[in-house]
Amino acid sequence: MVKKYFGTDGIRGTVGVFPITADFMLKIGWAAGTVFKQHSKGKKKRVLIGKDTRVSGYMFESSLEAGLIAAGIDVFMLGPMPTPAIAYLTRAFRASAGIVISASHNSFEDNGIKFFSSEGYKLPDTVEAEIEKLIDTPVVTNNASELGKAVRINDATGRYVEFCKASFPHGLNLSPYRVVVDCANGATYNAAPKVFKELGASVTSIAIEPNGFNINESCGSTCMENVCEKVKEEKADFGIAFDGDGDRVLFCDENGSVVDGDDLLYLIAKDYHLHARCDGVVGTVMTNAGIEFAFQDLGIPFYRSKVGDRHVIEMMKLKGCKFGGESSGHIVCSDLNTTGDGIISALQVVSAIVKSGKKLSSLVSEIKKIPQVMKNVKVPKSFVFDPKVMQAAVENSEKALGTMGRILVRPSGTEPVIRIMAEGRDKNIVRGEVDKLSELLKSYQ
C-alpha cells in the first residue's frame, strides 16, 4: 500500500518543513479523530497525547489537541512520557487511540507523530489509509455541543513507573548493584531513574536535564561514550542508555564495553528459556549471524523479519514468539508490553544478570559474534542510484567476504541515510568492502 504521509514509523521530518508544521498537525488531529470516532462505536471517544522533550512538542501538542477536539474527541494530555508508556496507558485508560509526538533518536530539529491503536499496537495500514484520505479534505468542526474536552493527567509517570516495576521479579533486589542510567535528555528522564532507585539500585543518572534542544545530543543510546566513561568512573556494575523517546535501550558492561540489542535480546530470551520455555525469537535481516547460531545451540527457533518494530511484531505474532528485537536496542517482550519498551527490556536484562550471579561481561562473552560492520551514508531526500550497478557491486563484495559473508544495503525509514551492513570472517576485509560500497553511493550525489 503506497502512503502519502505515513512512513515506516508514523510521520517524521524537519520541524517547519511540510508536513511537520502546526497547521498540518491540526489537520491530522482532526482526520485521525474523525476516523477513531468512526471505529469507536459504543465506546468512550478519548485519545491520549504524550510527547518527548523537544521544544516543538508544545506547538504540536496544542495543534493535535485542537484538531481532535474539533472532531468531537476527548483528549487526555500526558506531557513528556516514553513512547511505550503511551501504548500502555492507552490500554489502561480504555482509550480509542494514543498519539506520541516524537522523532525518537533524531536531533531536536526533527519531530513527528506515532499512533497506537486501542490495543496498544501501531495502527494497521488500512486505518492509516483512512486518515490520509481525510487529511486531503477540508476540516469540519463539530457543533459546540459535540466538541471534545481536554484533561491533563498528572499522575501518568507514577502509573508507568509502577507498570515497569511490576515486570521485575518480586523476589529480586537491586541493592547490591551500582547502575549508571543515561536518559538522553529525553522522555525517560523522570521515569527511568525512579524505576531503578525504587527497586533498590544505587543509581547515577546522566542526561536528565532536558531543555528542549539537547535531546539525543552526544548522549543516550546513539552516543554511548558518556555512559561507558561514567560506568568506569563510578566503578558501576553496568550502564543503561535509552534513546530520546524511550523505546530503545543499550547497555555497557562493567568495563565500559557496549552491549548492543542483539546481545540483549539473546540474554533476555536465554534467561526465559532457562526458567520456562522460549518457543522462538524474532530478529531482523540486520541481526548478527552469531546470534542466530547461539539460539540454535540453545534449541530456540530464530526468525528474521524486515527492519522495523512493526515488521518484528508482525513476525512475532505469525510465529507465536514472545521476544523480538533489533540490534539498535528496540526490543519487544510481548507478554509485558505491546511495543518496544526500553525500561521494561532493561529490567529483563537486569533480572538475568541478578539471577545468574555473573558480571554482564561474563554473560556476553558466551556469545560468539561474526565480525560485522555497519555504516550510514547521508544522502539527499531525492537520492536515487542505479540498482543494477549496486547489485553487481554487492555481489562482488560478497564474493570477497567468502562463504560466511553477506551484505545489506537499504534506505533508512527514519533518516535521510543509506545503511550498509556487512558480515564476514575477516573484519578488515568486511570494513574494506563497506568502504567501497559507501564510496559508490557517494559517487551518485
Collapse the DSSP code of 127 into the 3-class scheme (helix H, G, I; strand E, B; otherwise coil) and give the result: helix
Does a cis peptide bond (omega within 30 degrees of 0) precede residue 301? no
- 214 close to 208: Cβ distance less than 8 angstroms: no
**Residue 218 neighbours by CB under 8 Å, 6+ apart:** 225, 226
Residue 104 known to be catalytic: yes
Say if CB 406 and CB 289 are below 8 A apart: yes
Integer Cα distance of 322 and 222 in angstroms: 26
**Which residues are within 8 A (CB) of 331 and not within 5 positions of it... i.e. 6 or more apart?**
249, 261, 264, 265, 268, 323, 324, 325, 340, 341, 345
**239 φ/ψ angles, rounded to the nearest 5 degrees:** -120, 150
CA-CA distance, 394 to 367, in Å (whole number)?
Answer: 28
For residues 324 and 310, give the distance between their C-alpha atoms in angstroms, rounded to a whole number: 11
Catalytic one of 63, 96, 102, 104: 104
- Amino acid at the residue 226: N
Q: Determine the Cα–Cα distance for residues 213 and 55; give it in Å rounded to an integer.
A: 6
Measured CA distances, 175 to 170, 195, 359 (Å)? 13, 13, 15
Q: Measure the CA–CA gap between 114 and 28, rounded to whole angstroms.
A: 11
| Grid cell for residue 16 | 517547519
Residues 6+ apart with CB under 8 A from 6: 128, 131, 132
Q: Which sequence positions are flagged as catalytic?
A: 104
